[in-house]
Structure formats: C-alpha cells, structure tokens
Chain A
Amino acid sequence: MSIIEELQPIFRSVFEDTGLIVTREMSANDVENWDSLNHITLIVEIELHTGLTLTTEDLMNLANVGDFIDMLESKGFIPNGAG
C-alpha cells in the first residue's frame, strides 16, 4: 500500500467527500473544503495515524499532496505493508 492509499480515508473523512481520489498533484485549490481549519484537522489526524509530530517548519512550503507525502517519507514514515 502506498502512503497516498493509506491516508486517503483520512482525507475523505476530513473533507467530507467519500469519493475523493487523492493524487500527488492535488492541492488546497482543488478541494472545496480545504481551508485553514480543515488543513489543521488533516494534519492532526495524520499525526495521530502516523505517530509523527509535524513542526511548523515541516508544514511550510508544501504546495501539494506530493510535497506532503515526500515530507512524511523524509521523517521516516513507512506505510502499512511496505516495510
């Protein structure tokens, strides 16, 4: 399972869209409910899921989901079934 596949249910839950297909190119501009409050909710849910603590520095300069996935990988996150 890829990181995107593993995190997709979290995106769907936070943005209340059961049919949302998450891609590396997706950004806040592509999702209607992706505002600052939902962004933080997404971060907190992903922290809980991955066990990582994400700092402000980690969260800056993330233009799209691909940047976010790369950041998680750089912090050592390995998706289920990939280790």
Chain B
Amino acid sequence: MNRERTYVAGHALHDYNAISKVKMIEDYKYINTLKEFICSKFPYFMGGFDRQYAKFGDDWASAFNKELEVFFGSDEDRIQSAALGYGAFCLDSMKLQVEFNKTLEYRNKTYAEASSEVYQNRDYMFGLYLPGILISHYLWEHHYVQLKFYEKELIPRIAEISNPLIYDVGVGTGFYTKEYLRRLKSSQVTGFDMSPHSLGHTEMMVERWDFSERYQSRLGDILERDQTEVCDVINSIEVLEHLENPVDFLHGLNSMLRTGGLGFISAAINAPNADHIYLYRNADEVAEQIQTADFTILSQTVDQAYEPRKPGDIVPTNAAFVVTK
C-alpha cells in the first residue's frame, strides 16, 4: 500500500483557556441560535457544541457560523426544523449504535429497501437526514477532522490544476460540492446522485452560496452512464457503505477520472445508520477495495467519532483517502 503520509487527527487542537479569554461560543450568533433550539429539545446534546469549540476553536466556530448564516440566514423556522432533524438523526443513529455494539452486524437491508425508506423519501430526507448530515459536518468530530484533512491534503494538490472539472458522486447535502466551488474559483462541479432530493438540496446549497453558474447535476446511477467525458477530480464522501457492491462502484469512479487525476473517497466504518448496508469493520478493508479499483492512495486519515467509553467498545469511525489514478 502506498501511503505517503498519514494525517494525524487533532493537529489543530488549541488551548481552551487561551480561546476562552478571547471569545465565547455564545458570540457566534447563528451557532448560538442553533444551539438553543437543539438544547431545548435535546439537552444532552449541549456538550457537543462546547467540546468542538474547545478542540477546534475560532476557525471551527467562524466556518460553522458562516455555513449557518448562508444556508439558513435569519429564518428561525428553518433553523428550528434543522435542529429537530439533527437531533432526531443523532438519536436514530445512536440507538442503532447501541444495538450494533451487541449484534456486531448492520440490520439486514437491500439497497432497494434503503432507497425507498430514505433516498426517495422526501419527508425523511428534508426533515431529518439532510439537515442532520449538514450540521454533523461541524458537530461530529470525525466529520470536521475529515474536512480539515480535505483542506490540507487535497485542496493544495488541486490548486495546481487549471480550471478543474470535478465530479461529486453521491452529493448528499451538497456540502463538499459547495466547498470545491468556494475554494477553487475556476472549478466546475457536476453532482451525481440517485436521490432527486439530494440533488435538490445541493442545488439549494449552491444557489445560496451564489455558485450556480459553475454547477450542474445528473440524476441516476453512474454505472449506467453513457457519457465518456472524464474529470480532473472525483469526490465521493461516505457513499461506499450505502452500497451492496462498493467495488463495482469504485471501478465506476475510476472510469470517470482521467489518468493522473485526483480523488477524495471516504467511508463510514462500524457506523450503523438506517441506510448503511455494507459493513466495513476497519479502514484497511476500505483501502484494499480502493486499490482493487486501480487507485493509488496518496494520503489517508482514520478518525473515531468519540473516545470509546471502555475497552472493547466499538465506535463509529471515518476513513478518508486522497487518491490518484
């Protein structure tokens, strides 16, 4: 396995006392509004905000506040709805995690069942799933560490490519689509997804950040795609665990990328969400599949959602890889 370097989670830790003298999390208006809504309904989630701020400081708070400001603005109804969605999403996921720690298996489900229950279910997607995932990019430690890894390990490499064409396969909320468009001013992004609701959410995201002119979307299965145009960068964040056969999908991603292009691929490990089908038990299993699909791994990070409470506890983990072809 070719791993030029392994990213160390927590590199950006700050001294909490130093931060607290300068600013308080309460100084961030939009975070504070969200926090108040979430904690009024789910008081036991209060600690998550303070822990993230203590660990990641004002960089985290500024970025999160901006995200909320641009996407939700001052529309308190939408923030409240997202807060409820996030709380419900976390409760669902954590209940499944407690069950998983006993069975060590995901609930048996086919892709068609997951698709019908989740991806094609507009109420579930817009009411719970998409707001939950969007907010988790900042409130879940391993999701935020993944974003910092992307920023440090991938973006500088892409910056050397002029007018990069980026395919985001499995756009989810559109968070990473937006990140590419925001960070790389000459980039064009095409988002692919099986869910019209994910594509709709992504279009909304891109529009709010005023990047619509550089974005287009494609509904459908990439393995049935008849276009042959290849891209400079392929992105696929936490899609593999949603599939029955992730290796076929990885081969599909590989065929969409030009030789010498870059990729960012991640997967959830031991994380029994309602729509997770393929159980990865460790990061090596993901890396092996990525290499089977003829990618070369340039860099990787493996991060746990939280510290295990006791020896033997299984904790949701995220593995992210910068790859090339």
Contact = CB atoms under 8 A, between A and B. Distances in A.
Contact of B98 (A28, A29, A44): A44
A82 interface: no
Contacts of B41: 60-61
23 contacts: A27-B43, A28-B43, A29-B43, A34-B44, A36-B42, A36-B45, A36-B47, A36-B48, A36-B90, A36-B94, A37-B306, A38-B44, A40-B95, A40-B97, A41-B98, A44-B95, A44-B99, A56-B87, A56-B92, A59-B91, A60-B41, A60-B87, A60-B88
A7 to B, nearest CB: 17
A27 B42 CA distance: 11
Instruction: In the A-B complex, list the 4 residue pairs whose CB atoms are closest, starting with the nearest.
Output: A40-B94, A56-B88, A39-B44, A44-B98
Contact of A63 (B43, B97, B309): B43
B189 interface: no
How many chain A residues sit at the interface, stated as a range, is 10 to 19
Interface residues of B, number: 20
Interface of B: 41-45, 47-48, 84, 87-88, 90-92, 94-95, 97-99, 306, 309
Interface of A: 27-29, 34-41, 43-44, 56, 59-61, 63
A34 B216 CA distance: 46
Q: Most chain-A CB neighbours within 10 Å: which of B88, B91, B92, B306?
A: B91
A60 B47 contact: no
B142 to A, nearest CB: 15
Given A37-B309, A60-B84, A60-B88, 9 more contacts: A35-B44, A35-B47, A36-B94, A37-B94, A41-B98, A43-B95, A56-B87, A56-B92, A60-B41
B34 to A, nearest CB: 16
A44 B47 CA distance: 21
Contacts of B98: 40-41, 44
